[in-house]
Amino acid sequence: MKLSFLLPQFKASEALSQRPRMAEYDQLLIWVTVLLMLFGMVMVYSASIALPDSPKYAAYTRTHFLARQALFIGSALVAGALAFRVPVATWQKIAPYLFVGTLVLLVLVLVPGIGKGVNGAKRWLPLKIVNLQPSEMMKLFMVLYAADYTVRKQQYMHKLTKGFLPMTVAVGFVGLLLLLEPDLGAFGVIVCIAMGILFLGGINGIWFGGISATLVGVFTMVIILSPWRRERIFAYLNPWQEDNALGKAYQLSHSLIAFGRGEFFGVGLGASVEKLHYLPEAHTDFLLAVIGEELGFVGVMVVVLLFYWLVKRAFEIGRQAIAIDLTFAGLTAQGIGLWLGVQTFINMGVNLGLLPTKGLTLPLMSYGGSGVLLNCVGLAILLRIDYENRIRMRGGRA
């Protein structure tokens, strides 16, 4: 009788002890991330299924890119699980070393016989099984380094020589290496990450505005002094001119045709015509165009809303961390949001003809090992920050 009387109380206490454990993780953040990766894998398969019909991919099977993307996602999830186990304080300690190590890799990419070139650009280090892209690593490690730098130099953030100039030199050196590859798109994302974190960290507004104007001038000069970049800009402004539509604006014109064919609900999954060797790089840079054609405006809006929620959640976690005096964690979380938000905006803008064509993939979704893996590691760090926030708010220690 006594045991039966205590049983309901035991069950109630057990339920109470399990509730906080379930609330330690942001499950919705995990599910949105996994959903984007799995949705991307399906669309990569759809976009690449016809590629073996061309001479360039004649040796590949129709499931080649699907199988590799599945392998990339599996590896990314394992790497993310390992990254989540690393405390945020440890990430802060090793941030400068990760930054310097990735600088070395960016230099190695440019060394003849070591770096691998594709379509005129040397951006990869061949590792037999996969190709490592250091510029993708730099995006994440720039987030960590800029956040750590801002925390260490907090008292000098209103001074040019001790606060802003060293970071400017570091970003400039990274930019030089990326322009030698060349990879102007990655440089643009990294500049936005660094400048955004410095702005959020409380940098002097006058210096921020001045350097921002200088950077705009630098990007403008790079475009003006590069004939092929200049031609790409002119083609972007008038993609339907015959010479442009068959030349520099070929990808953009076919991307716009894909969106036009998709209309509201799309032509159906797998029924895209543009992926049949009309739209180059349909499984990488222009995956959103295939989504727009096959799933229409509705499919595109689902992707947009998922990324919007992801970026918004990153900034919410960052603000929460800063509110409990975890400044590095807060800036890192917001930096990850900036990284994903800026790269997604550029990729979508390019696909929709709002921005000039640039070789940036859609995070978590486009085909590619380095991109998916580093995106997943970044989001695992974000999840760890949220996990430690929840522990601290309960009075515990992470």
Q: Examine the fold and report which residue of 156, 173, 202 is the final residue of a domain before the chain moves on.
A: 202
Examine residue 6 and state whether it is found in any structural domain, yes or no.
Answer: no
Confidence of residue 10 (pLDDT cuts 50, 70, 90): very low
Clarify whether residues 277 and 185 are in a common domain.
no
- Say what the pLDDT of residue 166 is: 85
- Say what the pLDDT of residue 20 is: 44
pLDDT at 342 over 60: yes
Examine residue 268 and state whether it is found in any structural domain, yes or no.
Answer: yes
Judged by average pLDDT, the poorest of 2-6, 26-30, 332-336 is 2-6
What confidence tens digit (pLDDT) does each residue in 158-181 have?
777 777 788 888 888 998 898 888
pLDDT at 19 over 60: no
| High-pLDDT (> 90) share of the chain, % | 56
Examine residue 337 and state whether it is found in any structural domain, yes or no.
Answer: yes
Examine residue 65 and state whether it is found in any structural domain, yes or no.
Answer: yes
- Say what the pLDDT of residue 11 is: 47
pLDDT at 395 over 90: no
Give me the mean pLDDT over the 93-109 stretch: 94
- In total, how many domains does the chain have? 2
Examine residue 227 and state whether it is found in any structural domain, yes or no.
Answer: no
Q: How many Å apart are CA 60 and CA 201, to the nearest integer?
A: 49
Clarify whether residues 153 and 266 are in a common domain.
no
- Say what the pLDDT of residue 316 is: 97
Which residues on adjacent β-strands are paired with residue 124? 116
Confidence of residue 398 (pLDDT cuts 50, 70, 90): low
- Say what the pLDDT of residue 333 is: 97
Clarify whether residues 180 and 60 are in a common domain.
no
Give me the mean pLDDT over the 346-356 stretch: 91
Clarify whether residues 264 and 378 are in a common domain.
yes
Q: Examine the fold and report which residue of 202, 227, 248 is the final residue of a domain before the chain moves on.
A: 202
What confidence tens digit (pLDDT) does each residue in 107-127 have?
998 888 887 777 667 788 887
| CB of 313 closer than 8 Å to CB of 288 | no
Clarify whether residues 140 and 66 are in a common domain.
no
- Say what the pLDDT of residue 18 is: 46
Clarify whether residues 102 and 143 are in a common domain.
yes
pLDDT at 29 over 90: yes
Examine residue 293 and state whether it is found in any structural domain, yes or no.
Answer: yes
Give me the mean pLDDT over the 136-155 stretch: 92
Confidence of residue 16 (pLDDT cuts 50, 70, 90): very low
Examine residue 21 and state whether it is found in any structural domain, yes or no.
Answer: no
Q: Comparing 342 with 113, which gets the higher pLDDT?
A: 342
pLDDT at 8 over 80: no
Which element (helix H / strand E) includes 63? none
Q: How many Å apart are CA 165 and CA 167, to the nearest integer?
A: 5
Instruction: Tell me which residue range forms the domain holding 177.
Output: 93-202
In SS3 terms, 249-300 reads as: CHHHHHHHHHHHHHCCCCCCCCCCCCCCCCCCCCCCCCHHHHHHHHHHHHHH
Judged by average pLDDT, the poorest of 215-219, 292-296, 314-318 is 215-219
Residue written as tokens 């730098």?
A: 149
Confidence of residue 17 (pLDDT cuts 50, 70, 90): very low
Residue written as tokens 């400044």?
A: 327
Q: How many Å apart are CA 360 and CA 186, to the nearest integer?
A: 7
What confidence tens digit (pLDDT) does each residue in 34-90 have?
999 999 999 999 999 999 988 888 889 999 999 999 999 999 999 999 999 999 999
- Say what the pLDDT of residue 44 is: 97
34-40 — which CB contacts under 8 Å span 24+ positions?
34/77, 35/306, 36/303, 36/306, 36/307, 36/310, 36/364, 36/365, 37/73, 37/76, 37/364, 37/365, 37/372, 37/376, 38/73, 39/303, 39/365, 40/69, 40/287, 40/362, 40/364, 40/365, 40/366
Clarify whether residues 160 and 282 are in a common domain.
no
Clarify whether residues 133 and 181 are in a common domain.
yes
Examine residue 7 and state whether it is found in any structural domain, yes or no.
Answer: no
What confidence tens digit (pLDDT) does each residue in 211-268 have?
777 777 777 777 777 776 777 777 777 788 887 777 788 889 999 999 999 999 999 9
- Say what the pLDDT of residue 157 is: 73
| High-pLDDT (> 70) share of the chain, % | 91
Clarify whether residues 98 and 77 are in a common domain.
no
Clarify whether residues 289 and 358 are in a common domain.
yes
pLDDT at 2 over 80: no
pLDDT at 104 over 70: yes
Q: Examine the fold and report which residue of 202, 222, 247 is the final residue of a domain before the chain moves on.
A: 202
Clarify whether residues 116 and 56 are in a common domain.
no
Clarify whether residues 32 and 106 are in a common domain.
no
